[in-house]
Amino acid sequence: MNMYHVDTKTTCDPDDKWLMEFEEKYSCPECRMVFRHVFSQAIDVAVDEHPGVAAMNCVTPPFVDFIRCDFLDLFKDVLKEDIHIGRVFRHGQLLEQYRTFTSENRLIVRGRENVHWRKCPACRGFVYSPGDFCNWYVLSSSLIERDFYISSKGGFIMTEELRSRIEKGKWKGIIIEKIPVLEKPLDGFDQLPKELMFL
C-alpha cells in the first residue's frame, strides 16, 4: 500500500496573549509539550499574522495545525469523528476560511536508529522524535480500516487514491511525500509507550 504524508511548508506566529493562556492551561511547564488529552477536543487558536494563501499552516508554538476550508473539503467524506475541527482568530476576529484540525488518535511516524527520545520527569510524557524525513515510516500494524489519518508529526497521512484529489499546482504552501510502510520498527522500540507526546 502506498501512503503519502501531506504537510505545510509554512508556520504562523501565535497571538502572545493567547499563547500564554494556552500554555498555562494545557502545557507541561517542564518539557513545554502540550498534554496529549488536549488533542481529544477541538482547539481554537489566535494568530498574530494573517496566514496568507497557504492551503495548510501551523501555529508555532504550540504546534497546532490549521487548514483552508476549501482544501479540507477535499477530504470531508473521509473525516472520522475522532478528528476535531476548531476555529482560527486574528485580533479577535474569526478567520472564516480557516479551521484547525487535531486528534488524539494519530498515526505514529517512526524513525530509525538515530531517533531522539526522553521522558519528562514532571508530566511523565514520552517525547519522541523520528529525526529527518528521510528516516520516517509507518508500521503496517498501525494502519486501521481508514484511508485518512492525522500524522503524529503534523499534517495528514493518506492513501494514494486520496492524494490524487490534490490537483498538482493548485494548492500553495504544502509538501507531499511518499512515506514507507514497514512491517517491523527500526528504532529499537517494539512498541512506543502510551504516554507518547506529539511534537
pLDDT per residue, tens digit, the chain (199 aa), is 899 999 999 999 999 999 999 999 999 999 999 999 999 999 999 999 999 999 999 999 999 999 999 999 999 999 999 999 999 999 999 999 999 999 999 999 999 998 999 999 999 999 999 999 999 999 999 998 899 999 999 999 999 999 999 999 999 999 999 999 999 999 999 999 988 998 6
3-state DSSP assignment of residue 73: helix
Q: How far is CA 182 from the centre of its chain?
A: 21
Its sign, for the CA torsion 87, 90, 91, 95, is negative
Which pLDDT does position 199 carry in this prediction? 66
pTM for the full predicted model: 0.94
Distances (CA, A) of 153 to 1, 30, 92, 132, 199: 20, 21, 29, 11, 6
Sequence spans of domains, the chain: 9-102, 116-197
